[in-house]
Chain A
Amino acid sequence: MSFNILIVDDSKTIRSVIKKTLEIANIPLGEIHEAENGSEALKILQSQWIDLVFADINMPVMSGIEMIEQMSRDQILEKTPVIIVSTEGSKTRIDDLFKMGVKAYIRKPITPEMIRNVVRDVMGDYDEK
């Protein structure tokens, strides 16, 4: 079983870090897609099968929150789990994100252990590659 992942962040550096951390964490990876903002992410979500989304909140063009709102209005996309990766530390905002349907939140800087734990929490047990 492998996961098709979508990484959404306006920072190419962070997208690379998340991708590398997923590999180090031995997550079974299928295709990895990247998007610079929520709008690009929605286009990918509508054309590719994505098992899991890692998304930042603050992005130009379309924020992570706007992207999640759009996903929640789509019968298929609303089921795609989203993990927020952010510098955001506000419990109030994090609680609001969970109410919108976000499955998990991890705070930068991320580690392989954080990624491993959050993927298990969201996707259930899997065989490490």
Chain B
Amino acid sequence: MKNDDRALIIKVCCDVFEQLAFLFAEEIDMDEAESSSESFYQAFMTFTGEQKGSVDIVVPSELTQNLAYNILGTDPTDGLAPGTAEDALKELLNTICGRILTSLYGDMAVFDLSVPQTISLSLEQFKSLAETSDYITFDVESNPVFFRIVF
């Protein structure tokens, strides 16, 4: 991945975390990624068109709940309906994907985006992903987040 593209992807991710979910994100080194969480969610989706590929994001489950509260503007004491946290994560990924593709390929390029899906991951699976070198790692409000785009 070209350095300029990588920098652009990082900026888009940080901007979307801030604008959609009011969360501050910054890039960190993979070996700085530590989490006390026992469970994680991975959201993924594909795109076709001028280029084809996929994007995925891995976050601690607690962060997905914060995402949902912030996006919805609700208080944590109100609780979340089942599936809301995963839904919020899918929407985050959807927004990031759309923004990245426009930023990389311009606003005339046409892409078809799949409907995002989520799966649950264990701590062991999260640690296994941490050994994958193609993720960009973020610290989002003291939570490790992995993001990857594959062409």
B-side interface residues toward A, CB under 8 Å?
Answer: 16, 19-20, 68, 71-73, 81, 83-84, 87-88, 90-91, 94-95, 97-99, 101-102, 107-115
CB neighbours (8 Å) of A48 from chain B are none
A-side interface residues toward B, CB under 8 Å?
Answer: 10-14, 16-17, 20, 58-60, 86-93, 107-109
Alpha-carbon separation in the docked complex, A16 to B109 (Å): 30
Alpha-carbon separation in the docked complex, A105 to B83 (Å): 28
20 contacts between A and B (CB under 8 A): A12-B84, A13-B68, A13-B72, A14-B91, A58-B112, A58-B113, A58-B115, A59-B115, A60-B115, A87-B94, A87-B95, A87-B113, A89-B101, A89-B107, A90-B110, A92-B109, A92-B110, A108-B20, A108-B98, A109-B20
Q: Are B110 and A87 in contact (CB under 8 A)?
A: no
Q: Are A87 and B99 in contact (CB under 8 A)?
A: yes
CB distance from B90 to the nearest CB of A (A): 7
Given A20-B73, A59-B115, A109-B20, check contact A89 B91 (CB 8 Å): no
CB distance from A30 to the nearest CB of B (A): 23
CB distance from A95 to the nearest CB of B (A): 10
Q: Binding site of B, secondary structure by majority: helix, strand, loop or mixed? A: helix
Sorted nearest first, the 6 A-B pairs with minimum C-beta distance are A87-B98, A89-B102, A109-B20, A91-B107, A13-B87, A90-B110
CB neighbours (8 Å) of A14 from chain B are 91
Number of CB contacts from chain A to chain B under 8 A? 66
CB neighbours (8 Å) of A90 from chain B are 102, 107-111
CB neighbours (8 Å) of B115 from chain A are 10, 58-60
Alpha-carbon separation in the docked complex, A90 to B108 (Å): 5
* CB nearest to B15 among chain A residues: A109
Alpha-carbon separation in the docked complex, A86 to B16 (Å): 14
CB distance from B15 to the nearest CB of A (A): 10
CB neighbours (8 Å) of A86 from chain B are 98
CB neighbours (8 Å) of A89 from chain B are 98-99, 101-102, 107
Question: Among the listed A11, A12, A87, which residue makes an inter-chain contact with B97, where contact means beta carbons less than 8 Å apart?
Answer: A87
CB distance from B95 to the nearest CB of A (A): 5
Q: Are A20 and B99 in contact (CB under 8 A)?
A: no
CB distance from B130 to the nearest CB of A (A): 28
Q: Are B95 and A108 in contact (CB under 8 A)?
A: yes
